[in-house]
Amino acid sequence: MKRLFWLGLGIAIGVYAQRRASEAARNLTPAGIGANLADGLRELGAGLGAFGAEVRAGMAARERELAELVERRTGTALPTYANALAEEPAHRPGRRARGAGA
C-alpha cells in the first residue's frame, strides 16, 4: 500500500512538473513573449485609466469644496461650466450682408 501511495505521488508530481515546464517553454517563444507584453500593456492602460478617473473625481470634489467656500464667504454662487453652456448668449451675431466686410 505504501508503494502505491508513493507511486501515485510521484506520478502527480511528474505531471505537475511537466505542465509547468511546457508552460515555461511556451512563454519563451516569440508568441508567448508577445502575449505577455500585450497583457502587460493592457494592464498598464487599465491602471492609467483608473488613475485618470480618480484624479478627475478628486478634482471635481475639490472644485465643489472651493465653490462652496467662495459661496459662503461672498454670498454669491459661482457659475458652473454646465450652467454657462446651458445659457443662451446675450448677443447673437446675425448674418452679414453680401459684400460686407473684407
pLDDT-based confidence at 56, cuts 50/70/90? very high
| pTM of the predicted protein model | 0.50
pLDDT tens string 62-95: 999 999 999 999 988 887 777 777 766 555 566 6
pLDDT-based confidence at 61, cuts 50/70/90? very high
The amino acid occupying position 58 is: G
Q: For residue 86, what pLDDT is reported?
A: 75
